[in-house]
Amino acid sequence: MISRHMLRGLWAYRGFVLGSVKREFQSKYSNAILGAAWAILSPLAMILVYTVIFAEVMRNKLPGSDNTFAYSIYLCAGILTWGLFAEIVARAQNMFIEQANLIKKISFPRICLPLIVVLNALLNFGIIFGLFTVFLIATGNFPGAVFLAILPVLALQVLFAIGLGMIIGVLNVFFRDVGQFFSIFIQFWFWFTPIVYPATILPEAVRGLLVWNPMAHIVGAYQTILVKQAMPDWSSLGPALALALFMCFFGMRLFRKRSGEMVDEL
């Protein structure tokens, strides 16, 4: 998928990549009085709202669990990880259009752009998921060593997201309707993924369709680790891994084949 030549290019331009990530993070809070503190305050407020409203006020109970915080953890595990996926895809679908001036004026490995998108999203995710981890520890719901199983699931999710994002990003340069359509489609995709509801409440016919939703398996793996404190069903992630590898391969091939035409189109 990524040739040795591309890897050398990424390494040679590592300063450009890391500098771009740093500048984007700083630009978000450059005119705010509290500055980068908002990177902590905003996700902290979201976690507290989910916990207070769903665990304390509404007294939501997750089927099969007596834990007061089970539904809050289930909800956060789904929403936070879906947020990472949605951010990578949304940024990737516009990355070539947003950086059109840079692409036209400066010669650099274009593969740097997807990497910058991934690193920015992971930085934001790392902050908010770190706070969520503190919440798990503080409430006595930290899953222990099973927590490490999140790493391969996270790697799979990022691979899937950037593969899909690159395909949409290239197509969006030539057909702007692609980005508009996917922005609508992803909203339906969110509700077709068991994030705010458990899959067990769905009718049997509808539940059977979830097997075709790769994000249902990925989000479900996070929820199994964090709520049930158990290892996910790795075999269920096999199709998602195969699809992620295919999309990364196809996305890279499409990108390399159309990179020259993209410059002219932009």
The more confidently predicted of residues 238 and 62 is 238
Is the per-residue pLDDT at 1 higher than 60?
Answer: no
Q: Tell me the per-residue pLDDT of 25-58, one tens digit each, with 9 for 90 and over.
A: 777 766 655 555 666 666 677 777 777 776 666 5
Which alpha helices (H) appear in 64-176, and where do they start and end?
Answer: 70-98, 100-105, 112-138, 150-174
Q: Tell me the per-residue pLDDT of 212-224, one tens digit each, with 9 for 90 and over.
A: 999 999 999 999 9
Task: Report, as an integer, the average pLDDT of 163-170.
Answer: 92
What pLDDT was estimated at residue 108? Answer: 66
211: nearest Cα among 192, 195, 224, 226: 192
What pLDDT was estimated at residue 15? Answer: 79
Kindly state the tokens that stand for 227: 């709520």
What pLDDT was estimated at residue 144? Answer: 92
Which amino acid type is present at position 225? I
Distance CA 97, CA 266 (A): 7
Task: Report, as an integer, the average pLDDT of 68-80.
Answer: 86
Distance CA 14, CA 226 (A): 34
170: nearest Cα among 244, 254, 86: 254
* Percentage of residues in the chain having pLDDT higher than 90: 36
What pLDDT was estimated at residue 168? Answer: 92
User: What is the value of pTM for the model shown?
Assistant: 0.87
Is the per-residue pLDDT at 75 higher than 60?
Answer: yes
What pLDDT was estimated at residue 216? Answer: 94
Is the per-residue pLDDT at 4 higher than 80?
Answer: no
Least confident of 1-5, 11-15, 176-180: 1-5
Domain ranges of the chain: 4-265
The more confidently predicted of residues 101 and 97 is 97
80: nearest Cα among 37, 43, 135: 43
Distance CA 143, CA 244 (A): 27
